[in-house]
């Protein structure tokens, strides 16, 4: 059959599957924002039905045959070939698991999630230990089924970042760790900024309006998206013309809403920038979780916690909160929002110590999957390393190894992408500055378009065409490394702590 006709058939099938997937996403968005409480049970089954249907349609043998037939065609465009290659790869992965295995996984995950909830109530890891152990045993099987080279954990990391390996991650983290520790040691001995003014009362409606204004200033397209309130901030997309972010507002914390807006805004700009004509196809989807995270971190930190951005925007903040911040200088503000302070909770960590939270989880996951430690060893390892890296004593499991939901969901291989995202962000931002040395002048003058334009040229258009590493090399000329983050961090925190 003619290649173009066949490709058209593939595109039609994929886009109908996307319609179902994104419909399910709309139901999830609604569940997190507006769903009346009693509607939860029915909503759960509606989402489950759509997910099941999308999975069935994609794993259908006819789809496999179509993909294989297309993979053998040599008269497709380079882009078309890439879509087929990636879809075939997705198909082969999706069809590796028996329905029996899928069911066992979802049952076990469900058990472990509820055990995690309970363990947090009782503030005791013991309650979570056995269900987590069972889940990890299944994750090991998942790694075997998926197949891997060198290390079983690679198989799991690949689910979130294709091509990512233990070797790469170990190398990056072992470079990063000593330099970070040195930087922290240095900072510890300097006088600490007062950031109490960030914890006054900040009116909810005013915060909401500020968040909207910040999103506008970073050129989030409100005709192709919106912001709403949810318990945990997230970004979700139904196509590149409908990308939605949520935020939460803590009236006693200026930072909570502000940097979640910039963070989710960064994710959202990426989704709004993906090619719409590739809707439902791999080239219309984001590259990897690491790259997605690099986009949020770039706007949250490299831009959103830097001097140029606030040089222009602090006056805006002051007009929203004259009583709280009218007497504060931009310099005081800059120091306060960049205060480094080792802490127990990852999601509240500063830009530097954050990486240790991630490294500890990464090490634990890796060892659990390779079998060099077992579930019961988690709390001790956790607490020792929080002491060792961060110098903080973990008072209980709730503020220790029970703090994140990820493991209870079976998300193993995920955490590293948080740190790698920051490193990619620093590396991309360095490339942006090196290509255009007036960028920070522009930002200080209120114009972030040069940054957005660079991302629209070097990151957004490619979807999944490149792996994280390929995209990074293409965009920055280098492979992923910690040098740029350390340079950025050293420069920044010297400035922030310069008294």
Q: Considering the complex, what minimum distance in angstroms separates the CB of residue 55 from a second copy?
A: 14
Q: Taking the CA atoms of the chain, what radius of gyration do you get in angstroms?
A: 23
Candidate ranges 12-20, 128-136, 206-214, 454-462; the one touching a second copy (CB under 8 A): 12-20
Candidate ranges 23-31, 123-131, 322-330, 458-466; the one touching a second copy (CB under 8 A): 23-31
The DSSP result for 343-366, as a single string, is -S-GGG--TTTHHHHHHHHHHHHH
Q: Binding to a second copy (CB under 8 A): which residues in 41-60? A: 41-43, 45-46, 48-50, 53
Long-range contacts of range 250-255, CB-CB < 8 Å, 24 or more positions apart?
251/201, 251/202, 251/203, 251/204, 251/207, 252/199, 252/200, 252/201, 252/202, 253/198, 253/199, 253/202, 254/198, 254/199, 254/200, 254/202, 254/207, 254/321, 254/324, 254/325, 255/198, 255/337
- For the four alpha carbons of 374, 347, 481 and 476, in that order, the dihedral sign comes to positive
Q: Considering the complex, what minimum distance in angstroms separates the CB of residue 27 from a second copy?
A: 6
Candidate ranges 220-228, 248-256, 420-428, 491-499; the one touching a second copy (CB under 8 A): 220-228
* Structure tokens, 48: 């489950």
Interaction between residue 188 and a second copy (CB under 8 A): no
Interaction between residue 230 and a second copy (CB under 8 A): no
Q: Considering the complex, what minimum distance in angstroms separates the CB of residue 428 from a second copy?
A: 27
Q: Considering the complex, what minimum distance in angstroms separates the CB of residue 159 from a second copy?
A: 26
Interaction between residue 469 and a second copy (CB under 8 A): no
Looking at the Cβ atoms of 6 and 26, the one nearer to a second copy is: 26
Q: Binding to a second copy (CB under 8 A): which residues in 311-370? A: none
Q: Considering the complex, what minimum distance in angstroms separates the CB of residue 46 from a second copy?
A: 4
Angle at 394 between CA 392 and CA 400, to 5 degrees: 120
Angle at 423 between CA 421 and CA 424, to 5 degrees: 65
Looking at the Cβ atoms of 45 and 499, the one nearer to a second copy is: 45
**Contact code string over 236-275 relative to a second copy, x by CB under 8 A:** --xx-xx---------------------------------
Q: How many CB atoms lie within 10 A of CB 298?
A: 28
Tell me if 410 sits within 8 A of 112, measured CB to CB: yes
Interaction between residue 224 and a second copy (CB under 8 A): yes
Looking at the Cβ atoms of 4 and 40, the one nearer to a second copy is: 40
Q: Considering the complex, what minimum distance in angstroms separates the CB of residue 307 from a second copy?
A: 33
Active site residues: 264
User: Which strands form 242-247's sheet, in the order they lie side by side?
Assistant: 225-229, 242-247, 235-239
Which phi and psi (to 5°) does residue 497 adopt?
Answer: -105, 5
* Structure tokens, 69: 């037939």
List residues near a second copy by CB under 8 A.
15-16, 19-20, 22-24, 26-27, 30, 34-39, 41-43, 45-46, 48-50, 53, 221-226, 228, 238-239, 241-242, 279
């Amino acid at each position: 059959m003619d290649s173009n006709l066949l490709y058209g058939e593939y595109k039609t099938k994929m886009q109908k599957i996307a319609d179902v997937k994104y419909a399910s996403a709309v139901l999830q968005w609604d569940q997190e924002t507006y769903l009346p409480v009693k509607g939860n049970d029915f909503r759960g089954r509606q989402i489950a039905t759509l997910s099941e249907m999308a999975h069935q349609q994609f794993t259908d043998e006819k789809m496999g045959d179509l993909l294989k037939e297309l993979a053998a065609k040599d008269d497709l465009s380079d882009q078309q070939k890439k879509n087929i290659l990636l879809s075939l790869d997705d198909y082969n992965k999706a069809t590796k698991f028996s329905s029996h295995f899928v069911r066992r996984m979802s049952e076990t995950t469900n058990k472990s999630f509820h055990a995690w909830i309970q363990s947090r109530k009782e503030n005791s890891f013991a309650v979570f230990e056995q269900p987590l152990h069972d889940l990890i045993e299944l994750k090991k099987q998942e790694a075997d089924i998926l197949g891997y080279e060198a290390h079983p954990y690679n198989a799991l990391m690949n689910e979130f970042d294709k091509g990512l390996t233990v070797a790469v991650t170990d190398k990056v983290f072992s470079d990063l760790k000593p330099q970070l520790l040195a930087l922290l040691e240095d900072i510890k001995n300097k006088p600490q900024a007062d950031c109490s003014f960030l914890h006054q009362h900040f009116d909810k409606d005013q915060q909401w309006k500020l968040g909207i204004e910040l999103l506008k200033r970073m050129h989030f397209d409100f005709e192709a998206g919106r912001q709403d309130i949810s318990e945990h901030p997230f970004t979700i997309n139904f196509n590149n013309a409908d990308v939605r972010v949520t935020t939460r507002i803590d009236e006693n914390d200026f930072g909570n809403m502000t940097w979640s807006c910039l963070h989710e805004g960064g994710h959202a700009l990426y989704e709004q920038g993906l090619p719409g004509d590739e809707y439902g196809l791999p080239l219309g989807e984001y590259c990897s979780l690491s790259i997605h995270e690099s986009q949020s971190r770039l706007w949250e930190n490299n831009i959103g916690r830097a001097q140029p951005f606030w040089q222009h925007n602090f006056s805006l903040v002051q007009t929203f909160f004259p009583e709280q911040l009218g007497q504060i200088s931009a310099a005081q503000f800059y120091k306060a929002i960049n205060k480094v302070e080792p802490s127990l909770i990852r999601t509240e960590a500063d830009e530097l110590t954050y990486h240790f939270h991630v490294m500890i989880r990464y090490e634990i996951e890796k060892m659990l999957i390779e079998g060099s430690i077992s579930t019961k060893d988690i709390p001790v390892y956790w607490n020792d390393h929080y002491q060792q890296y961060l110098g903080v004593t973990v008072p209980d499991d709730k503020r220790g190894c029970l703090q994140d939901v990820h493991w209870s969901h079976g998300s193993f291989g995920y955490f590293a992408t948080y740190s790698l995202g920051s490193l990619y962000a620093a590396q991309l931002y360095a490339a942006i500055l090196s290509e255009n040395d007036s960028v920070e002048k522009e930002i200080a003058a209120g114009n972030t378009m040069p940054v957005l334009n660079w991302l629209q040229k070097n990151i957004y258009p490619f979807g999944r065409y490149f792996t994280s590493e390929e995209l990074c090399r293409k965009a920055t000329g280098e492979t992923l490394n910690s040098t740029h983050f350390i340079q950025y961090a050293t420069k920044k925190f010297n400035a922030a702590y310069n008294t």
